[in-house]
Amino acid sequence: MQLEGKTILVTGATDGVGRVVAKRLAAEGANVLIHGRNQQRAEQVLREICGARVRPKKGMATFYQADFASLAEVRKLAEILLQERERIDCLVNNAGIGSGTDKNHRQLSSDGFELRFAVNYLAGFLLTRLLLPRLVESAPARIVNVSSLGQQDIDFGDVMLEKGYNGTRAYCQSKLAQIMFTIDLAHEVDRSRVTANALHPATYMNTTMVRDSGNSPISSVEDGADAILKQIVSEELAGKSGLFFNGQREARAIAQAYDEEARAKLKALSMRLTGLS
């Protein structure tokens, strides 16, 4: 994909790897739609992008505020984007939260769902479903789901983890759900029009999420941004869909991701929880 003039939505773009990706895209001439919760952080990113006037291909950036712990705010975000944007060439579902500082403390979203499942998975599921017709109209378009090597089977008897809650388990379950959704999208949408792939960008990047989870960074956000940008622009990935990548290399998720029955259960649950069915 040639980035100049393309419209790319990056969720969670006011901090961490999303911020780096947004700035790089704008530097290459893309019109970047920056999503985040925090107005002040967003203004700083916009200043950094708009102040880089030495860039010969400097693109534009626009901030869209929404809290992904609320499905109502996700719906409002999609509504505004569909009103304001005639095309969306790429959607990068990057917004997310880690396992938390207190891994035994179970939190709920404003809709009453386990917080990590809601923010890391359900919000992106709903946003993607609502924007999918516009992505198809903008073909060839791409969906990039920023997932993780940290994955754990979904227990459909206790998806909201009411029994024996653990933050790491919650995070890993939500990331597997993203990959399962990615594979479903590849089966549903003509890959000559829209591709969907998931990736683990880099291990323990130097982000707020990693530090808040009590882990020491071992890679950089620049490493992760390189992997995400490859998903957006690489010609070798044209027409390839439903894949999982570890960094810049194709890899395999855990077995449940490829279980059709499990994916069907997850899809039915997700459609019900998000009010799409």
* Active site positions, annotated: 171
pTM: 0.94
CA distances to 14, 28, 40, 206, 211 from 22, in Å: 9, 10, 16, 17, 22
Q: Are 144 and 112 in contact (CB under 8 A)?
A: no
Average pLDDT, the chain: 93
pLDDT interval class at 54 (50, 70, 90):
very low
Mean pLDDT of 221-242: 96
Q: Are 241 and 186 in contact (CB under 8 A)?
A: yes
| SS3 state at 142 | strand
pLDDT interval class at 100 (50, 70, 90):
confident
Distance in angstroms (rounded) separating the CA atoms of residues 238 and 1: 9
Q: Both tokens of residue 70?
A: 């609320």
Alpha helices in 117-243 (DSSP H): 123-137, 167-188, 208-212, 221-233
The structural domains of the chain, ordered by start, are 7-273 (3.40.50.720)
Distance in angstroms (rounded) separating the CA atoms of residues 198 and 209: 19
Whole-number pLDDT of residue 60? 87
pLDDT interval class at 52 (50, 70, 90):
low
Residue 248 has pLDDT above 60, yes or no: yes
- Identify the residue with better confidence: 116 or 215: 116
Whole-number pLDDT of residue 220? 85
Distance in angstroms (rounded) separating the CA atoms of residues 212 and 97: 10
pLDDT interval class at 211 (50, 70, 90):
low
Whole-number pLDDT of residue 210? 64
Distance in angstroms (rounded) separating the CA atoms of residues 104 and 272: 27
Distance in angstroms (rounded) separating the CA atoms of residues 182 and 265: 15
Residue 190 has pLDDT above 90, yes or no: yes
Residue 7 has pLDDT above 90, yes or no: yes
CA distances to 5, 10, 87, 208 from 192, in Å: 21, 22, 17, 37
Question: What's 103's DSSP letter?
Answer: T
CB atoms within 10 A of CB 76: 14
Backbone angles phi, psi at 92, to 5 degrees: -110, 105
Residue 212 has pLDDT above 70, yes or no: no
Distance in angstroms (rounded) separating the CA atoms of residues 14 and 123: 17
Residue 17 has pLDDT above 90, yes or no: yes
